[in-house]
Amino acid sequence: MSGYIYMHRSEKGKIVAGYVPWDDAKIHVLSHVIHYSSGVFEGIRGYVTDRGVAIFRGRDHYRRLVRSAKIYRMFPEDYAPKEIFRNGKVYMEDLVSYFMDLTKELIRKNDLYRRAKEVKEEDKMANPFVYIRPVVYRGYDVTEDPILKPPLGVNPLNNPVEWFIATFLWDDYLGTMAIEQGADVITSAWAKNAPSTTPFMAKGASNYATGQLAKMESVLSAMFKTPDIAKRVKEGGSVKADDLYLPVESVQLTVSGHVAEGTGENIFVVMYEDGDPGKATIYTPPLSASILPGITRDSVIRIAKDLGYPVIETMIPREMLYIADEVFFTGTAAEVTPIRSVDGIPVGEGKPGPVTLRIREQYTGIARGQIEDPYGWVEYV
């Protein structure tokens, strides 16, 4: 495997940092993060444009990474390189710029711009994009005598804070069909953790434990394709193999039964006034619904408001998904993905709606450098 990952680790009390060949990028099996999920991460997207790779809101993602780490008491002074310290302190914007510079160099070093064009021309990927995955985590430093009481308790404070950045190519997260025709989803039996159990303002690894269960639940569940099939079964007909499909995602609820988010996406609900899409109001769960404060979510809220749509952050009952005129996911990998059915019930007309498509067109136009970026969100490599 060709390619590199940038790693910053502790080895026998010393910092070892640099570009590591892909196959040599390893951490110790006793690293605290493996046993106790003591890590935070980000997912950042780079679009392949005529001007090069366009990193979308990379600095905002890295700010959230630093803040996520802080919530878990992993402070910049614990893991930042010595060269960016000023008067014994590490300043947020210095660290963010350092991460961004490393990321750009890693994209160049992995030749991802050329590779993305190549795999698309060879029809190996439908819509390749550059995915950036930085992780800050509690590691493990081998001592002189590792058999004697290694730091492997729940208390993470004796473990070094380490980090890495990986960059690679990814394709449409929920599938090209979901992007074009809308995603089929189910509501999961696995609820989000309650407030005060895990901090959802941090993009922590532990927050995705129930998400994994919900994701597997969706891809392994078979649902009816259309109401016509359900009607046939109700009238005594049989279910055929081609009547079934696999949902691509789950919507998780809060412990009180309200809509929270997808396993890796935020969610929005669109309701028309008097059946008129021109008089639409957009609803989305608040941060108190145990959701991640998504960067794409924030982008869509700002775009929607600038397009003239009221956006209301409020608790959403599950059944509102069934009667909504439009529902869509947002996320770094999912971008703006329409939802065409929930639990086998068509959303609106069972296809991407005009409000979703208008917001998606604006969002992707900015991210891909196709229209003016009034927000200063895009940074080119």
3-class SS of residue 6: strand
Using CA atoms, how far residue 220 sits from 190, 264, 338, 343, 375, in Å, is 14, 17, 21, 14, 40
The tokens for 354 are: 């005009």
Please pick, among 104, 192, 203, 215, the residue that the annotation labels catalytic. 203
The tokens for 49 are: 């444009």
Q: Contact at 8 Å (CB) between 83 and 15?
A: no
| Spatial distance between the Cα atoms of 249 and 221, rounded to a whole number of angstroms | 10
| Spatial distance between the Cα atoms of 244 and 242, rounded to a whole number of angstroms | 5
From 198, 222, 354, select the one nearest 290 (Cα to Cα).
198
Pairing of strands 183-187, 249-253: parallel
Distance, CA of 72 to chain centre: 19
Question: How far from each other are the two terminal CA atoms of the chain, in whole angstroms?
Answer: 23
Is 305 one of the catalytic residues? no
What are the two backbone dihedrals, phi and then psi, of residue 90, each rounded to the nearest 5 degrees? Answer: -115, 125
As annotated, the active-site residues are 203
